[in-house]
Amino acid sequence: MLASNKALNPSRFLRLMALSMFDIMCSMPLACYVMYVGAATKKIEPWISWADTHYNFWYVKRVPALLWRSEDANIIAVELTRWVSIFCALLFFALFGFAEEAKVNYRRWFWAVAKRAGFEPPSNGVNSAKKWAVMNK
């Protein structure tokens, strides 16, 4: 698989596999828990027709916090939906935002902005060491 795809290097492949493994290990139990909470706390109504199912479909019911916080399962379900997407975003950034190709792009954008402010990137080699020594005397 790595040999056939030029854009996929071993580092990127391992990060994708880690993301996939984390997705499987966390999404499946979370989905099962959400289905359990939904089945345990809600009464299943019999199906009548599509017209009945879609009646008042656009209405969003406002539930006071006093009611939905009355059961621990509801609190967990609501808080999970709030925080799981933030956690997933942080995980995605941790896997792909600290990669070497991302760091190269961060440096390039930083120096593009810094040049507009009058700063120059340090040059590599002996000259940069001499410039640093002169500037810090």
68 lies in some domain: yes
List pLDDT tens digits, range 49-80. 999 989 988 999 898 999 889 988 788 878 88
Looking at every residue in the chain, the average pLDDT score rounds to 82
For residue 93, what are the domain limits? 10-44+64-135
CA distance 10 to 97: 16
Q: In sequence order, what DSSP letters do the residues of 106-134 get, joined into one string?
A: HHHHHHHHHHHTT--PPPSSHHHHHHHHH
98 lies in some domain: yes
Residues in the chain: 137
Model-level pTM? 0.59
Per the structure, how many domains does the chain have? Answer: 1
108 lies in some domain: yes
91 lies in some domain: yes
List pLDDT tens digits, range 106-123. 999 999 999 999 888 887
